[in-house]
Structures are given as C-alpha cells and as structure tokens.
Amino acid sequence: MLKTSYRIYHKILLFSEKKLSAIILFLNTFLRGFFFFAVPTDMLFFPLCLGNPKKGILVFTPVTIFSSVLGGIAGYLLGYFFSDKVKDLLISFHFLDESNWKTLLFYYNKYGIWAIATSVFTPLPFLLYTYSAGIFQFSLPLFILVLLISRTFRYYLFSILFYYYGERIKNTIEKYFKRTFYLFMGFVIVFIIYKIIGAV
C-alpha cells in the first residue's frame, strides 16, 4: 500500500503538466460539494500545485474555486428542496451523526451564514455545510458570497505557499513519505474505531 500511494502521488505530480488535469480537478471539486464519494479536493489540488506551482496559481486555483462554488450551490439547492431526503442520506452514509449535527448547529448559532467560512478550517466534510445551508434556508446570494470568499482565501493561501516553497515541501515529503504515510494510516484506523464504537 505504501508503494502504491507513493506511485499515485508521483503520477499526480506528473499529471499536473497535462491539459486534462484541470478538467479532472474541476469535475471532482464540483462533485465534492454534494456527492458522497468524490475524492477529497486537497488530495488532487495539493500534488497538482506541487507538480506545477505556476499553473497552480494561474489555473488550478481559479478552477478549484469556481468548481467548489458551483458544487456548493448544487449542494445548497438539494438541501433546500429535498431536506428530509438529504438528511436521511447523510445519516445512512455516516456523514451525519448527532455529534456532527451538534457541531454544525453550534457554528450556525454562533456565526450564522458565516459558519460556511469555518469549513476551511474544520474536519467536517464540505458537503455537510452545503447541504445544511440549504436545509436551514440561508440566503443563497449571501451563501455564494461567503463561499467565494472562504474558498478563495483557502486555495490561494496554499497555491502561493506551494509557489514559493514547493521544492522544499516536495523534498520534505520525499524524505518523510514513509513516516507520513504510516502516521496518516494510524489516524484513519483511530477514526474508523471511533466511528464503530460510536455506532454501538
């Protein structure tokens, strides 16, 4: 699994040079706003920007922001018009439980629509925010504005970081890839155990 992950990482770095890379990034990021099984955007965005930092700023970042906002709108509309069905789906696919729902309610009660901006910093899936914004029937124009501001801040922050420090970051990843991989797998195992215990 370690070797496979390493190969995938390098293939994505090389894929950054291809014209198709921006299209794949667009489609996946768009789906991430409302589809349960899309690949986390960062898993594509980060290595693509590392593979081609200049293209990361000029192409990958605008594409990611635009597609993320579009996907967010789709998630909002689904939550707005099909709130009960959406909540049932979120629960059945284990994206939503009592703990997640309380966390969302806390952010919305404290920050209102601006809670969407906290999706930049929290581990909760992005689609939870898009669906719940529709379920709570927040203003769509304001939702789009907040989404645009927060997504722009997030992705340009990383793409600029990769532009100036990309080589150093790549060298660090190469040097500590094995340790990072096992650390990540440890977090995944702990998360799965936590979910299983919570479901009992």
Cβ contacts of 51 within 8 Å, gap of 6 or more: 12, 13, 14, 15, 16, 17
Cα-based angle 101, 104, 110 (whole degrees, multiple of 5): 140
pLDDT at 200: 44
pLDDT of 199 > 50? The answer is no
Model pLDDT for residues 139-181, shown as the tens digit of each residue: 999 999 999 999 999 999 999 999 999 888 777 777 766 666 6
* Averaged pLDDT for residues 121-138: 86
| 101 or 10, higher pLDDT | 101
Which residue did the predictor score with more confidence, 28 or 5?
A: 28
Looking at the chain, the whole-number percentage of residues with pLDDT higher than 70 is 82
Q: How far is CA 153 from CA 62, 108, 138, 196, in A?
A: 11, 20, 22, 35
User: Within its chain, how far is the Cα of 179 from the centroid?
Assistant: 23
The reported pTM is: 0.80
| pLDDT on residue 170 | 77
